[in-house]
């Protein structure tokens, strides 16, 4: 009877709450696994909070860390982190559905809706077909990346060690996680162009989304016009942000002794491109970020806030949200009745959703930043950087993560969680589905 009651309560939960619950269960299991002796090196121990922070950072594909993953965890512990990175990249509900399909169970309509919500997708195609395409895409890209990186790392390490590093960093890059098995992230490889470019393109592929990748594969023998509007728009905004980010990082850091000054021009360009790529989604770094120029810090805020594309492994408000709002603003200035892109009108409901995402995100970031500023003594710019990095699941830090207090760490854990699921998903999980039928008369309010 009690079992039936629990099942009924589960059925009555909204898809958004089920999605949150799935992530929470996975996080709970991960925290326990990381605390086990087989996960920790000899004479190493971590608190429950640090274990929680690490697992949330992994499953939310963020990369922020309060401990040195390479020194604290055994190979088993690092594999556990890698598993949760992959779980977070694919999505908890996606993995659950794969298990259901393997045991021959059929998916309900609600389960399909959960998958769409987690993947931030509007696709109504066959779920089995989608899962197969998803797994094939992930497998091919991650294995290809692992092989190239293994070759790159083999110049510095034994084949066995290079293979492990190659696999770990390939998955971490494609899932936009930013976790590294080196104490100073990838700074020791800043002159290795193969490793830099391979990881950069893995991050880009993970950041543009599975639907866009599959669309590009399918139309390779056809015209680009056959791409969906979402895919074309996401690719256009991604190219624009990568170009602007690369140029600005190169200009601002060109003569900075701690970042680019001692490199030749080609290495400066490649490292600037790498940081432009990783700033929006991934969290890897090839140059130290503790002393970057104030202008670079400010540009980093913007790129992190925008983030990756919908349906991808990255966070942020998403490239298409940013693009829609730019077009909306231009449309208002030109007094256009509709917002248009690629000769198509954008539904007002989507514009309202984009506005809601940005307003909720900005409000949340302001509140959280204010709270942390009130209890920490770190410089304001570094705390803003940390909050934006957590919210956008970027994972970059200016070196203050490990020094934060208990409350600040817990706040960042919640922030990473909200950033991974999306502010709208979390907000809708705690609001009523009821809509008011009352319509009040219009009134003019002076603005601007």
Kindly report the average pLDDT of the chain as a whole number. Answer: 87
Closest by alpha carbon to 204, among 141, 297, 250? Answer: 141
Question: For residue 221, what pLDDT is reported?
Answer: 52
Question: For residue 311, what pLDDT is reported?
Answer: 79
Question: For residue 212, what pLDDT is reported?
Answer: 80
Cα–Cα distance, 232 to 138 (Å, whole number):
21
Question: For residue 32, what pLDDT is reported?
Answer: 96
Average pLDDT over residues 419-429: 82
- Decide which of 425 and 167 is more confident: 167
- Decide which of 122 and 423 is more confident: 423
Q: Give the confidence band of 137 by pLDDT, cuts at 50, 70, 90.
A: confident
- Decide which of 339 and 418 is more confident: 418
Question: For residue 314, what pLDDT is reported?
Answer: 82
Question: For residue 427, what pLDDT is reported?
Answer: 79
Question: For residue 4, what pLDDT is reported?
Answer: 58
On whether the CB atoms of residues 152 and 139 are closer than 8 A, the answer is no
Residue 149 structure tokens: 């990186």
Domain segments of the chain as ranges: 14-424
Q: What is the pTM of this model?
A: 0.90
Question: For residue 11, what pLDDT is reported?
Answer: 60
Question: For residue 46, what pLDDT is reported?
Answer: 93
Q: What residues form DSSP beta bridges with 40?
A: 73
Question: For residue 447, what pLDDT is reported?
Answer: 72
Q: What are phi and psi of 73, to 5 degrees?
A: -100, 145
Least confident of 64-78, 89-103, 253-267: 89-103
Q: Give the confidence band of 322 by pLDDT, cuts at 50, 70, 90.
A: very high
- Decide which of 369 and 221 is more confident: 369
Q: What percent of the chain has pLDDT over 70?
A: 85
Question: For residue 7, what pLDDT is reported?
Answer: 55
On whether the CB atoms of residues 306 and 241 are closer than 8 A, the answer is yes
Q: Give the confidence band of 75 by pLDDT, cuts at 50, 70, 90.
A: very high
Q: How far apart are the first and last CA of the chain?
A: 59
With a cut of 90, say whether residue 335 has pLDDT above it.
Answer: no
Q: Give the confidence band of 264 by pLDDT, cuts at 50, 70, 90.
A: very high
Question: For residue 89, what pLDDT is reported?
Answer: 86
């Amino acid at each position: 009877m009690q079992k039936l009651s629990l099942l009924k309560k589960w059925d009555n939960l909204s898809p958004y709450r089920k999605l949150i619950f799935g992530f929470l269960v996975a996080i709970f299991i991960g925290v326990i696994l990381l605390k086990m002796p087989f996960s920790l090196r000899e004479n190493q121990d971590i608190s429950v909070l640090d274990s929680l922070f690490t697992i949330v950072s992994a499953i939310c594909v963020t990369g922020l860390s309060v401990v040195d993953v390479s020194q604290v965890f055994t190979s088993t512990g690092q594999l556990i982190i890698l598993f949760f990175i992959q779980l977070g990249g694919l999505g908890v509900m996606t993995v659950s559905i794969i298990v259901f399909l393997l045991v021959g169970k059929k998916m309900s309509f609600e389960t399909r809706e959960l998958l769409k919500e987690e993947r931030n997708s509007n696709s109504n195609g066959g779920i089995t077909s989608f899962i197969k395409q998803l797994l094939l895409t992930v497998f091919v890209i991650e294995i290809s990346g692992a092989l190239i990186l293994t070759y790159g790392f083999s110049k510095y390490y034994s084949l066995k060690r290079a293979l492990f590093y190659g696999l770990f960093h390939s998955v971490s890059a494609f899932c936009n996680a930013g976790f590294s098995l080196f104490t100073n992230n990838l700074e020791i490889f800043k002159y290795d162009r193969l490793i830099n470019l391979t990881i950069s393109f893995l991050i880009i592929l993970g950041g543009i989304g599975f639907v866009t990748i599959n669309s590009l594969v399918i139309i390779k023998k056809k015209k680009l016009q056959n791409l969906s509007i979402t895919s074309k728009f996401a690719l256009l905004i991604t190219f624009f942000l990568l170009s602007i980010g690369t140029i600005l990082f190169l200009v601002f850091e060109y003569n900075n002794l701690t970042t680019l000054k001692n490199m030749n021009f080609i290495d400066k360009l490649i490292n600037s491109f790498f940081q432009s790529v990783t700033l929006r989604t991934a969290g890897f770094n090839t140059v130290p970020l503790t002393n970057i120029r104030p202008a670079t810090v400010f540009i980093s805020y913007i790129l992190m806030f925008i983030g990756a594309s919908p349906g991808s492994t990255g966070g942020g408000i998403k490239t298409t949200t940013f693009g829609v709002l730019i077009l909306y603003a231009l449309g208002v200035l030109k007094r256009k009745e509709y917002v248009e892109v690629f000769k198509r009108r954008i539904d007002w409901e989507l514009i309202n959703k984009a506005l809601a995402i940005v307003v909720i995100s900005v409000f949340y970031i302001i509140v959280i930043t204010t709270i942390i500023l009130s209890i920490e003594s770190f410089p304001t710019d570094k705390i803003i950087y940390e909050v934006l990095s957590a919210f956008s699941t970027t994972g970059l830090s200016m070196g203050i993560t490990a020094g934060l207090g208990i409350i600040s760490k817990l706040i960042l854990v919640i922030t990473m969680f909200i950033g991974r699921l999306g502010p709208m998903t979390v907000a809708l999980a705690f609001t009523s589905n009821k809509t008011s039928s009352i319509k009040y008369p219009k009134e003019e309010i002076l603005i601007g």
